[in-house]
Structures are given as C-alpha cells and as structure tokens.
Structure 1
C-alpha cells in the first residue's frame, strides 16, 4: 500500500461509499494500521473541506 496522505482525495474517495461513509476493513481489505491511516486522512480531508461529509 502507498503512503496515505490527506491531499490525495481521489484515492480516499475509493474508501468511501456514495453517501460518504468510510468503508470497513472487511470491504477495503486493509490491515488495522492502514485502515487507521485511511480513516485519519479522510477525517482531515473533510475538516479542510477538500471532501464533503456526505456524498
């Protein structure tokens, strides 16, 4: 897996549903460490208004 960065909105959108919810580990196939990084990056991305809270 590549380094997860909050500025990569296109990559982070693949880990969200159409309604904006973050997909679970079972669906994404990420390990616990990477899932935490993904979640943290998505939340930062939302706070900076790069990505919407809802789809």
Structure 2
C-alpha cells in the first residue's frame, strides 16, 4: 500500500491568477465573502498569496463585493 502526502492543486499548472477573472476568484470565497484558507483550498503558499492579492485588488476595483448580503 502506497501513501502519499502530495496535494493536488485545484488550479491548472499554467493557469494564472488574475484579478479580472471573477469566476475563478469566486470559487475561493465563502458564502459570507471571506477568503477561504489554504487548508480548504489545497493551494500552495505561493498560490494562496497571489490569490489573496488578486481578490483584494478585485474588491478595491469593485469587481467583487467586500460582503455578501443575503
């Protein structure tokens, strides 16, 4: 039996995180509008930092809401 601790990232190898790609960014935001943690998104630390930066940039440019009011 082979056990591996390798995590599989939900992003493709060549996929670039960009603040203009709202559909991709919404996958990493909770229902309350919070950015999901690394543990739940299965991203590397480098990818998580880029994700956080692009989500915050999209919020400032009002492409994404700061809070989801339902």
TM-score normalised by the chain length of structure 2: 0.77
1 or 2, which has the higher helix percentage?
1
Correspondence for 1:21: 34
Alignment: residue pair count:
55
Deviation at 1:46, TM superposition (A): 0.1
Runs of 5+ in structure 1 lacking a partner?
none
Runs of 4+ in 1 over 4 A off after TM superposition: none
Computing the radius of gyration over CA atoms, which structure comes out larger, 1 or 2? 2
Gaps of 5+ in 2: 1-10
CA deviation vs aligned residue, 1:13-52 (integer Å, no higher than 9, x gap): 0000011000000000000000000000000000000000
Alignment RMSD? 0.6
- 1:8 is the counterpart of 2:28: no
TM-score, length basis structure 1 = 0.97
